Structures are given as C-alpha cells and as structure tokens.
Amino acid sequence: MDMTVRPRRLRNGETLRKMVRETRVDAASLVYPMFVMEGTDKVEEIDAMPGQYRYTVDRVGEKFKELFEAGVHAVMLFGIPDKKDEQASEAYNPCGVVQRALKEGKRVCPDMYYITDVCLCEYTSHGHCGVICDGDVLNDETLELLAKTALSHAEAGADMVAPSDMMDGRVAAIREVLDNNGFKNVPIMAYSAKYASAFYGPFREAAGSAPSFGDRKSYQMDFHNGREGIKEIMLDIEEGADIVMVKPAMSYLDIVANARDMVDLPIAAYSVSGEYAMVKAAAAKGWIDEDRIVAEMAVSAYRAGVDIYITYYAKEIAEMIQKGIIG
C-alpha cells in the first residue's frame, strides 16, 4: 500500500516515543495535601484514604523531609483543631495548628514550599465555610474572617495562601489585607472553579468538616455549569489571584481546557480525596494497575492544560518521573 503519512513511525521504540511526547510532567509542579491535627506524637491513618495520615505538629517534619527527598517540594496544609465555634476562631489563632505547623516546617525543612488552605469549614461548629445566620451562609461577613486567617498564615510563614471557601470577593479581601500588612509578595492560589462534588466525601472524614445541616450548594458550584466556571476564574483574576484552580480534577478537565485557552495565569487542578479513594479501593481488589492509573490521571490533567497538580499521589508520581515511567 502506498501511504506517505504513517503516524506509527513515531511510535516505534521508547526513545522516539519520549522524544516526540506532547505532554511533559515535572515533579516541580506537584503539590501534596497534608492534614495537621492537635495532640502530641501521633500519626493517624485515615480510614477512607488508605495510605494517608493526620499528623500532629511534632510529627509533620519527618513527612516534609520524606517528601522533599522524593522530589516533592510543595505541600498544602489543612488544619484539624480540637476546638470549634461559630466564628471559626481557631482558623486565625496565631497559635493554631496550621500556624504552628508552618513554624515547625520552616524550622526542620526550610526549603519546602508551604501553601495553606484558607477556609473555615474545619474550624466552625456547624461545618460550613462561613458565618451562619438563620441557616444561611453570610458572604460579606465571612470575608473578614477569611482575610484574618490568610494573614495569620502569612505571619506564621506561609509561602502562598489558597482560599477554598467560594465566597464572592474573597480574593480581593485577602489581597487587600496581605498588602496592607507587608505581605505583597505572598501569592494567592484561588480555588476559583470549585464544584459541589460527591468526590469530596473522604476528605470530610479526614478533616472532620462535614456540614451539620444542609449542603454547600449555595456557594460551591453546580456541576452542570461550565461557562460559570470560566466566569468565576475571570472574577478571581480581576481581584488579584496569581494562580487559579479547578477542583475536582478528573471530571472537570473540560473546565481546565477551556480556561487554558482563555487565561495566561498558571492553572492548578486538585485531584481530590474521592479520586484517590476510588483508585485505592479498586487497586486493593486487584481490578486495576494502580501505578498506571495514577500516571494516566496525572498526564490527562497536564494534557488538558494544568501547570500545578495537587494530589495525594504526589510522592508516587515524583518517583515515577525519576524512573522514567512518566515525564
């Protein structure tokens, strides 16, 4: 047969396949989410997320070092306080669990890059991401508490803050407070298109953040909406976001791809707890090849246009890159 164009020519051998790869994965773009809890000398496995743990502040350092040596140089911290109230006061307590974990991290692993999740759900007695009045989450009243939380993280040593609450105007409120207090160089990674998703289930067990009534659909996005996700991203950019995020990752890569065509800022995607737990459960049954599935999920995010990939598999992906399995 006379064929001039034969795409298979460029698939002939591993060296050539790697040479012509369209999508590259770099360990420098990986972020590992971590849960920090109160107490002393404890590491607790999370039942719904096998292989993931909650750490007390005195034990986080060993994990930071382990990750850094594996090639993962950025973490995102989530706090689990002992005390919760309606004003989420532990979120912005200078001696709160995240604030102390930041100081410990800077002491034992100063080259790690520390990002903090800025939200109130882990700290409120009702589990919602803002101030409640008559069953409603109040937007504007919540902004002050979010800004106080972000400032307390910056003061404790956070390299970047990442508001995940989905209140309108929170990026602008945080940017103003940071700038006015000498933290103009602390970037904001906004959870810009964060959908009300069933994929968050295991996280709520991990962080003890399930709402005690109702749901979060009045502030997190309807998963039917794509154009609205772009609208949220554009609004956060106008307010001063340095990086925008789409969450979850796997089922929302169309949002990533559309955003990539429209914005020049770095785009992050968060491969969330439900994605992790499903892979772990299927792998435990022997139904899938865990490493290959993880590799495909990661590459699909980068192929869609992601610059930063937040994943509980960050260490494993970094090791795959070192071994040449992906890259």
Asked if 240 contacts 278 with a C-beta cutoff of 8 angstroms, the reply is no
**Is 103 noted as a catalytic residue in this protein?**
no
Catalytic one among 194, 217, 285, 315? Answer: 194
CA distance 213 to 193: 23
Do the Cβ atoms of 96 and 153 come closer than 8 Å?
no
Residue 103 has which token pair?
């100081």
Instruction: Give bridge partners of residue 184 from the DSSP assignment.
Output: none
84 is catalytic: no
Of the candidates 170, 210, 200, 192, the one whose C-alpha atom is nearest the C-alpha of residue 33 is 200
Closest CA to 218 of 174, 165, 259: 165
Closest CA to 162 of 183, 120, 190: 190
SS (H, E, C) 53-112: EEEEHHHHHHHHHHHHHHCCCEEEEEEECCCCECCCHHHCCCCCHHHHHHHHHHHHCCCC
Catalytic site residue from 63, 148, 247, 280:
247
Q: How far is CA 244 from the centre of its chain?
A: 11
Cα 318 → chain centroid: 17
> Which residues are the active-site residues?
194, 247
